[in-house]
Every structure is written in C-alpha cells, then in structure tokens.
Amino acid sequence: MLTKTLQEKIDGRSARVSVIGLGYVGLSLGVELARAGFTVHGIDLDLERVNLLNRGESYLVDVPTEALGPLVASGRLAASTDFSAARQADALIICVPTPLRKTKEPDISFILSAVESLVPYLHAGQMMVLESTTYPGTTEEVVQPRLESAGLVIGSDFFLAFSPERVDPGNKRFTTANIPKVVGGVTATCTQLAAALYRQVTKTVFEVSSPRVAETAKLLENTFRSVNIALANELAFACRKIGVDPWEVIDAAATKPFGFMPFYPGPGIGGHCIPVDPLYLSWKVRLTGYEAQFIALADQINRAMPEHVVGLVMEALNERGRALRGASVLVMGVTYKADVNDIRESPALEIIECLEKKGAHVSYADPFTPQITLNGLKLTAVEATPDAIAAADCVLILTNHSGFDVTVIAERAKLVVDTRNALKAHRRGRTSIVTL
C-alpha cells in the first residue's frame, strides 16, 4: 500500500521532495524538480545560500536567477537550515560533499551527519536517494543499517537507493535535465520508485541491480577521465623531451574516427570529482588486499603538474635573464575549469602558493572569482587590462575563461606560459609563448 501511494504521488507530481545540500548538484536538481511541478524544500547549513535562494537569487553560474526566481515566487522551491522540514517530505535526496581526508581516505562525514540529522524526522512511506559520490557499499553498509536501527523496514515501508550525480559545471550542452541517470535500489521496489522520480525530470534512466553497481559506475566514469588526463600530461612531458608540440600531436591523432578520444594536458586536476573519486575506488579495493596501480600512477602524474608549471615559469624567466624571485607574475584564471566560479581542488591555488614561496609577486585575474584566500591571506582579483598584461614579467594562463582576450595577451605580454593552449592561433613563430 505504501509503495502504491508513493508511486501515485510521484506519477502525479504531488510528492514533496527535500534536497539536502544546495551546491552545484542539489540546487540544479531542486530547480529541475520544481520545474516539473514538484514542491521542493532544500536543506543546507549555509545560511547565506538559504537566504539567497529564498530571495530568488542564484549563487551558481549554471542556475540563472531568471530561472530560480519564478520557482521561488510560485512557492515551488524554498530552503531552510532546519532538518525538521524532512518530516513533510515524500522523497529525500542527499547531495552533500564527499571530500578526501589528508590521508587520501574517503571522508563520508557529511553523509553521516545528514543521515543522523534526518533520522528523527523519517517515517514509513518515504524514499531516500543518496547522490553524493562515495565508495562502493556506502548505501547498504552505512546508510541502510542506520535507517533500520530507527525501525524502518527497507523495501516495504521505506525505500532506499543510490543515483550518482553527473553535474558538469559550466556545461551548457549537458545539464541535469538531459544527462542520463543511473539508479540502483536496495530492493527492486526501491529501484522502481527512485527511477520513477527521476523519469519526471530527465529523459533517460538506466536501472542497475544494486546501489553498489551504481556507486562503482560513478567512480569508473571519473577514473577513466583521471587516467586519460594523466596520459595526456605524460605525453606533454615526453613531447617536451623530444621537441614535439603535444597539442599538435593530439589534434593529429583526433582525426582518427574510431579508437581514439582526445584528452588534453593541463596545469593539474581540480573540481569535486576527478581528484577525489578514483581514490574512493582504490581505497575500497585496497581493503581487499589489491592495489589499483593505474589509479595510483594517474594520481601521481596529475598531482605533479603544478610543480611542473612552476618549473616552466622559472625556466622561461631564466632564459630571458630574469629570476623568479622578485618577478611579477599575472595569473589568468584560478577556477579549476573555464567559465565557472568553482575553485575546489583547483591547481591554480597550489601554483600561486608555490610561486609566492619562491619570491614571485603574484596577482591574478578571474571574472568568476573576485577573491581567494591562501594561508589566511586574502587576494583580490585585478582587471586583465592591456596595461596590466604588459606590465607583468610573465603572464601565466591557468584557466581559459572565454572572457579573456587572448589576442591582447599574445600581443602585449612580454612572456606567456600557456598551460591551456589558449593562444594556439598566436603561437607560430613566437618565442615569447611557452606551452606545456
């Protein structure tokens, strides 16, 4: 009876949904659910986020205020810091962060905290879906026992599933509304109900046999990216040794219509997925006594890139008779990818810190990040004017934001270290432009 009632609420879009965690994943999902006609209540401990949302103001690049405002005004979307709102929910979706500890072990404390905060307000007839990326087994080994200890019977009076988030910040082509969703429930009924909810907001839902399969699939997606980025980074090292342009090599190989997918080198890996997710998988596998060597090697190569970039800046300045100590370096972009305001795990932060430790005078330009804090010191972005570019001893491109005028950089900068191939069209014959 409870299954039928929840199914009917989902099909009729009368189900009330609570989204726990209103970052890139949670806010985007909440907006799509509200657009589909569901009443959505977001829960987040960040009071500033909650207040902005309740005023109809977006704090994320991917969610325009123009889209958010009408949903808030209509009463379809609201937020609070109070977990008791979950008592009114039919479906609860957890979208909280899952970082790494300093030991490179999974940190699921945000998941545990969210579940513990929700338990007092849970009751029969509800469904919970975990979207936070985590190690295989978390849903069944960690979340399920806690719910069962509260007296909930999974699969008959309470429903539990895992559906990995697949948000790609800044991607205008693939969004929450059209990225296929993978869903794995603890029971067949759990899968059925979770899949039914997601089918209301996305075109394709792929059902798998268990939460463990869904959890592992998410980790495979980003391990694939990490390994291939590491290969591209190693290619950059190798090509530098033999005097070949790695960007040209990759462009040439990419003309093959089968059996090749282009990945490109860069200053390091960043964001909430690629630096973290593969290590969740290798940690879980290590518990069985097996070492995932590919994952470890890829992580080692990718994490070596910031130091390599600093070395390139030092070498390029030295060749022009200028020491790094005392040199002015203008960093272009500090976010981990273009046209987003996300600096999580951004290699730019490590690079700036290293440059400053070596005595460089570092400033940065980034239209998406007006201020950053490094070691307690606040840095404020400068405007990338032609004069500012010309005044720097070295311009270091770490993020290729579309708003940067690459022609001005190419024409006015004394020296450019370009880690993103942003000046591809200007490089021919210019010794003042150095690439990876």
Task: Using the 3D structure, point to which of 146, 180, 209 is the last residue of a domain.
Answer: 209
Close Cβ partners of 373 (under 8 Å, ≥ 6 residues apart): 379
Residue listed under structure tokens 């978390």: 138
Check whether residue 238 and residue 194 sit in a common domain.
no
Asked whether residue 173 falls in the same domain as residue 234, the answer is no
Residue 175 lies in a domain: yes
269 and 418 inside one domain? yes
Residue keyed to tokens 């990718």: 302
Please name the residue that has the structure tokens 């810091």. 81
Can you list the positions of beta strands (E) in 31-157?
A: 39-43, 77-80, 91-94, 126-130
pLDDT digit string, tens, across residues 289-302: 999 999 999 999 99
Q: Report yes or no on 385 lying in a domain.
A: yes
Q: Are strands 181-185 and 158-162 parallel, antiparallel or unpaired?
A: antiparallel
What is the pLDDT confidence band of residue 376, given thresholds at 50, 70 and 90?
confident
State whether 183 and 262 are in the same domain: no
**Residue ranges in 243-292 assigned as alpha helix (H):** 246-253, 277-286
Tell me the pLDDT tens digit for each residue of 392-427.
999 999 999 999 999 999 999 999 999 999 999 999
Give the containing element (helix H, strand E) for 377.
Answer: strand 377-380
Q: Which domain holds residue 19?
A: 2-209
Beta bridge mates, 47: none
Distance from the first to the final alpha carbon of the chain: 62
375: Cα within 13 Å, side-chain hemisphere: 7
Tens digit of each residue's pLDDT (9 = 90 or more) over 148-161: 999 999 999 999 99
* DSSP letters for 285-306: HHTTT---HHHHHHHHHHHTHH
Q: Indicate whether 50 pLDDT > 90.
A: yes
3-state secondary structure of 233: helix
Looking at the fold, whether 26 and 174 belong to one and the same domain comes out as: yes
173 and 232 co-located in one domain: no
Do 205 and 56 share a structural domain? yes
Q: Are residues 324 and 366 in the same domain?
A: yes
| Number of CB atoms found within 10 A of residue 370's CB | 10
Domain assignment present for residue 216? The answer is no
How far is CA 376 from each of CA 346, 362, 364, 379, rounded to the nearest angstrom? 17, 16, 17, 10
Q: How does the average pLDDT of the chain come out, rounded? A: 96
Query: Are residues 202 and 76 located together in one domain of the fold?
Result: yes
Please write the tens of the pLDDT for every residue from 244-255: 999 999 999 999
**Residue 325 near residue 358, CB atoms below 8 Å:** yes
Q: Which of 4, 10, 21 is nearest to 86 (CA)?
A: 21
> Which residue(s) pair with 100 in the sheet?
106
Chain-centroid distance of CA 391 in Å reads 34
The pTM of the full predicted model, rounded to 2 decimals, is 0.94
Whether residues 164 and 253 fall in one domain:
no
Shared-domain flag, residues 352 and 288: yes
Token pair in block for residue 38? 């569901």
CB 348 within 8 A of CB 398: yes
Is 273 known to be catalytic?
yes
In this prediction, residue 377 has a pLDDT band, given cuts at 50, 70 and 90, of: confident
Total domains present in the chain: 2
- Of 152, 184, 209, the last residue of a domain is 209
285 with 318, same domain?
yes
Asked whether residue 129 carries a pLDDT value surpassing 80, the answer given is yes
> How far is residue 9's CA from residue 38's CA, in Å, rounded to a whole number?
10
189-200: average pLDDT: 98
For residue 369, what is the domain's CATH number? 3.40.50.720
- Active-site entry in 190, 239, 273, 394: 273
Residue 243 structure tokens: 């005097």
> Is residue 217 in some structural domain?
no
| Per-residue model confidence (pLDDT) at position 14 | 97
Residue 56 lies in a domain: yes
Q: Could you report the per-residue pLDDT of 11-37, keeping only the tens digit for each?
A: 999 999 999 999 999 999 999 999 999
